[in-house]
Amino acid sequence: MPGIIIRNGRIIDPSQSLDKVTSLLIEDGKIAAIGSEVNATVKEIDATGKIIAPGLVDAHVQLREPGFEEDETIESGTSAAINGGFTSIACLPNTSPTTDTQAQVQFIQQKASQADNCHVFVIACVSKNREGQELAEMGILTKAGAVAFSDAPNPLGKTDLFRRALEYSRMFDVPILDHPEIPELSQSGIMHSGAISMVLGLSGMHPDSEELATGRDLRLAETTGARLHLMDISTEGSVELIRRAKGRGVNVTSEICIANLYLTDEIMRTFDSNYKVNPPLRSQLHIDACITGLQDGTIDVITSGHAPRASEKKMTELDQAPFGMSQIEITLGLAISNLVVPGHLDYPTLISKLSTNPAKALKLDKGTLAVGAAADVTIIDPDVLWEVDPNKFTSLSTNTPFSGLKLTGRADTVIVDGEIKLQR
Amino acid sequence: MKVAETDSAVGISPVPDTWQRRHLLGLEELSKDDILTLLQTAVELKAATGGCRDKLSILKGKTVANMFFENSTRTRNSFSLAARRLGADTVEFSASSSSLSKGETLIDTAKTIEAMNVDAMVVRHSTPGSPHLLSENVNCSILNAGDGPHEHPTQGMLDIMTIYEQRGTLEGLTVAMVGDITYSRTARSNIWGLKQLGAHVIVCGPSTLVSKAWENFGVEVSHSLDEIVPRCDVLNLLRIQFERQYTRPFPSVREYAFLYGMNRKRMEQAKDDILIMAPGPINRGVEITPDVADGPHSVILHQVTNGIAVRMAALYLTISTNKRS
């Protein structure tokens, strides 16, 4: 494989606290050098005005295959990931059959390897068939390559099972991922519970539902000493609970979906089911608290929360429509436009949330440009203005309300293991 | 302004230029002018039809489809009569006998009905926003006949018309909506319409069914019927929507009637000219005792008649606007 030299770009690698304009050399699929010149015949990329980041890592993606190929396949989902600038993704176990056996883990790995787009890391089920009753075979699944365990997007409802899962997971040093929600406080909910849901007559999902679960999860992580990763944080109370737990040294990381960082429940006045997501779009108060949480490190990770759904499933009554947005191809643009441009986060912090931290949370050998590491690189054009066109998505699903939205910044070049997968 | 020939009928004003709506989805988005136009048109149509009895021909050649995805007797019949009084044909459609039970989507069902050259669809659905979804996917007029707990604009307007007929104005009146506010589309439509016309609105009921957040919208929130009764010009007694509640918001019907039932004893505390209203169907002995429901202050049956007037107005205004655009 010919080497690649990327010149004149601003290299930002939070894993080595690096932020400077210099060159990056890739050889044999690995990062060979930073800042040194070479004379060998290599491909040159001029990254003037661009940011060179460790390949982005998305810790929360639904790939939908097997079982729901009308929404997304492993091939289309990984291709969409590349289009969005992600070189690694972790996929949720809500397939059919669910990812609760060695065979299912290997199926996903094999399909991902055939697709040959980005790296795919498998999140397997905590409970058999995601039913929340019996533990899945964590030991065998870990051996097969599962990097984490979760019943997401369902919450881990039964507290005794959850506690046992945390205790058991310690043997394998794998994180348990929970979508914190007490179902009886959010059942049949369509949107955030507040003045807007009251006016619209739509069932609300109260912050209490998330915060009680967050509190429970943190307590269980503290007493078991296991690794907990809280998914889908969206409320002021959750941020505060996590902040305090981290202060006590609880082994917890947390993530937030990009949609929950700038859209408010006010938008549900459109009755557009594309805005129906879980956790729901909340009020500005919650968004402000979550942004503070990102700034002070309480929230470690930003995810796409990619939830592709075929249009016939979404073009229906609000209570029938499933949760979720097809987001992975616009997450980076949304993050730059709504978090960096307004001055909430700087680029090094954003890249840590989109690459270094998710890799750490899932203990992946990713999210770094250290010499010798696999050459997963995302070159970001931070200034390019572009318009969201769902018809150009490589995802099979176009369930996004953002058609025509103008965004700043996107991935310009994506390199996986030294191979250029995308170059605009 | 130009008036199409079928619009002309004795005593009916042409659709004013300020009315630009080809759908009627809710009262919240209507301006004060819009609400006055609806009210004025309803009053005129009621007069022109001899109290909603006689037939006009201002919607002759038009077709109105009743699409009720949720049970209804009075609203459905009221819309049917309203359409026929204006000379329109009606098509009846109900969820149980439809292709919905064969797996057809809501949008496809509506498009199929529309292809039968329908000019307006009257839509009732248990999910808020469903008429809005249809309005973005069909070309005919959509009239919301109740979308879950969200809005029921013609019910709101017929309540307002009934008060207007009795009092000549809404300005400065104190109107209380009593009971299940959380699950009531009637309450919401009333709130928006009454506020636009200058009434003071109180929502009163158990704290599990009356959100404090209504105060953000300039509405008074009360949990004591006894406290508000002496101050009210109008009491609108809502039915408990048992079918929409996932968990029972109060301990028993007996306790509800004890706290929020309108009875003779509470009537003694009321103003002499208080109006008692109920959107129906009424549960005698729960939100209202029979002597109050049938008593001299009750205008419940006027509401039913005015329902036809308001629905004639809504059909006439929206269909005329759609034709114009």
The answer to whether B124 is a known catalytic residue is yes
b vs e for B67-88, b when ≥16 Cβ sit within 10 Å of the residue's Cβ? bbbbebeebbebbbbbbebbbb
Which member of B124, B132, B150, B200 is catalytic?
A: B124
Q: Cβ neighbours of residue B295 under 8 Å, at least 6 residues apart? A: B267, B276
The answer to whether B102 is a known catalytic residue is yes
The answer to whether B323 is a known catalytic residue is no
| Distance (Å, whole) CA A56 – CA A81 | 9
Q: CB distance B106–A199 less than 8 Å?
A: no
Q: Which residues, listed in sequence order, are joined to residue A413 by a DSSP beta bridge?
A: A379, A423
Q: Cβ neighbours of residue B193 under 8 Å, at least 6 residues apart? A: B27, B30, B35, B153, B156, B157, B159, B160
Mutation target for A interface from B104, B125, B127, B181: give the one with most A CBs within 10 A: B127
- Could you report the per-residue pLDDT of B141-182, keeping only the tens digit for each? 999 999 999 999 999 999 999 999 999 999 999 999 999 999
DSSP state letters, A14-40: GGGTEEEEEEEEEETTEEEEES----S
Q: Which residues of B are less than 8 Å from A198 in CB distance?
A: 182, 211, 213-214
The answer to whether B6 is a known catalytic residue is no
pTM for this predicted structure: 0.93
Neighbours of B270 (CB within 10 A): 20
Q: CB distance A201–B217 less than 8 Å?
A: no
Q: CB distance A318–B128 less than 8 Å?
A: yes
Q: CB distance B214–A316 less than 8 Å?
A: no
| Distance (Å, whole) CA A165 – CA A159 | 10
Partner A contacted by B183 (CB < 8 A): yes
**Residue with structure tokens 């005129």?**
B44
The one-digit pLDDT tens for each residue of chain A (424 residues) are 679 999 999 999 999 999 999 999 999 999 999 987 776 678 999 999 999 999 999 999 999 999 999 999 999 999 999 999 999 999 999 999 999 999 999 999 999 999 999 999 999 999 999 999 999 999 999 999 999 999 999 999 899 999 999 999 999 999 999 999 999 999 889 999 999 999 999 999 999 999 999 999 999 999 999 999 999 999 999 999 999 999 999 999 999 999 999 999 999 999 999 999 999 999 999 999 999 999 999 999 999 999 999 999 999 999 999 999 999 999 999 999 999 999 999 999 999 999 999 999 999 999 999 999 999 999 999 999 999 999 999 999 999 999 999 999 999 999 999 999 999 9
| Domains within chain B, CATH numbers bracketed | 5-151+305-324 (3.40.50.1370), 153-303 (3.40.50.1370)
| Domains within chain A, CATH numbers bracketed | 4-51+375-423 (2.30.40.10), 56-361 (3.20.20.140)
Classify residue A323 by burial, with Cβ atoms within 10 Å: 0-12, 13-18, 19+: middle
CA distance to partner chain A, nearest, from residue B287 (Å): 22
- Could you report the per-residue pLDDT of B34-85, keeping only the tens digit for each? 999 999 999 999 999 999 999 999 999 999 999 999 888 899 999 999 999 9
Q: Which residues of A are less than 8 Å from B147 in CB distance?
A: 201
- What proportions of chain B, in percent to the nearest 5, are helix, strand and coil? 40, 15, 40
Q: What is the widest separation between alpha-carbon atoms in chain A? A: 68
The answer to whether B254 is a known catalytic residue is no
In terms of Cα–Cα distance, which of A14, A30, A29 is closest to A372? Answer: A30
Helix (H, G, I), strand (E, B) or coil at A130: helix
